Chain A
Amino acid sequence: MFDFTSEQLHRYSRHILLKEIGVEGQEKLCRARVLIIGAGGLGSPVAMYLAAAGIGTLGIIDSDTVELSNLQRQILHRTADVDRPKVDSALETLQGINPEINITALKLKFRAENAIDVLRGYDFVVDGTDNFAAKFVINDACVIEGVPFSHAGVVGFAGQAMTVIPGKSTCFRCVFPQPPPPGSVPTCSQAGVLGAAAGMLGTIQAAEAVKYITGAGELLLNTLLTFDVLTMTFRKVSLPRQDTCKVCGEKPVITEPFDVEQEECR
């Protein structure tokens, strides 16, 4: 059995008290390895909640530096962090929240060429990116490597999330066979995004990661959760797995991740 110190028992007491998590669930959290792709509007709350939850190893990958326009929603970063690499300020914030976890910060763009190497060894991946191109790379790499992940996307006041267990549940490519043509979909830099909407969604992703690791409750499998903050409407849409899916179907034709050209969002 994991030997919690008295300090750890206090730190994690509100999780341990939950019947669905308990001592055993907290042990699983403390041993888990989670990769967060993107230290932005989604990645911020995800990383902060997962660090606070005591996830044993937290990987965070982002190639960007902090911009003033990020601060409205990317709560990992402070005003004094502008122009610093996001992974540096993320590391500082996360260590401040929980100094006892291992944090691997990679100042790197998650791309097809490094995707498999980066995510290998992680138990769960959180997609905190803001563009379709990256979402397809993450989906394909996770499906090929068999790593469960949380998909999410946020634009304006609207968000969506789905959890994928490769080989068992609907993958992102089952729902969207290919990325939309460049320029056809607004990214958040073009369309604006409510900071709190990104926060809500990232919090949902953090909860899904904790649920996956501890086995608590039911995951958003084969289900796309969508919400509109303006009306506070939440919907769940059932989305069955597709036998014809190019990456997780019966005859997969995608056997390694590949990049597609897409206008990127900052």
Chain B
Amino acid sequence: MPDSGNCQQAGRDMADKEILPDASRNLLGVGCPMNMVYAKVELARLGSGQVLELVLDDGAPVSNVSGSIQKEGHEILAKRQMPAGGWSIFIRKG
């Protein structure tokens, strides 16, 4: 996982902060690139500054979707590794 170090760091930084997302979508089991398509659909429904939580599989899904979302001008607030596998990421819409 290329950015797992950063993910864990971000996860630790935000671990004690409660983030209440405006919308949430479970994308476990949804591969690339459709996971990003669904992420964009969810983001399109939100206003600037609102927060979306996505749950993504380990590996390429969390790495690719996080990178693409940042390239599109949104902010990753936190990434948290889920106990049962996968990642929960919190995105503030740009």
Contacts and interface: CB of A to CB of B under 8 A. Distances in A.
Interface of A: 1, 4, 9-10, 13, 16-17, 19, 22-24
A10 B44 contact: no
Nearest to A22: B40
B72 A19 contact: yes
Interface in B65-91: 68, 71-72
A9 B44 contact: no
B45 A16 contact: no
Contacts of A10: 34, 37
Nearest to A12: B37
Contacts of A4: 41
A9 B33 CA distance: 11
A16 to B, nearest CB: 5
B38 A9 contact: yes
A23 B44 contact: yes
Interface of B: 33-34, 36-38, 40-41, 43-45, 68, 71-72
Contacts of A19: 71-72
A123 B1 CA distance: 47
A214 to B, nearest CB: 14
A10 B33 CA distance: 10
B44 A13 contact: no
Main secondary structure of the interface of A (DSSP, over half): helix
A10 B38 CA distance: 10
Given A13-B33, A17-B33, A17-B36, A23 B41 contact: yes
Contacts of A23: 40-41, 43-44
Nearest to A14: B33
Contacts of A17: 33, 36-37, 40, 68
21 contacts: A1-B45, A4-B41, A9-B37, A9-B38, A9-B41, A10-B34, A13-B33, A13-B37, A16-B37, A16-B41, A17-B33, A17-B40, A17-B68, A19-B72, A22-B40, A22-B44, A22-B72, A23-B40, A23-B41, A23-B43, A24-B44
Contacts of B45: 1
Contacts of A1: 44-45
B30 to A, nearest CB: 11
Contacts of A24: 44
B34 A9 contact: yes
Nearest to B68: A17
Given A4-B41, A9-B38, 15 more contacts: A1-B44, A1-B45, A10-B34, A13-B33, A16-B37, A16-B41, A17-B36, A17-B37, A17-B40, A17-B68, A19-B72, A22-B40, A22-B72, A23-B41, A24-B44
A90 B37 CA distance: 31
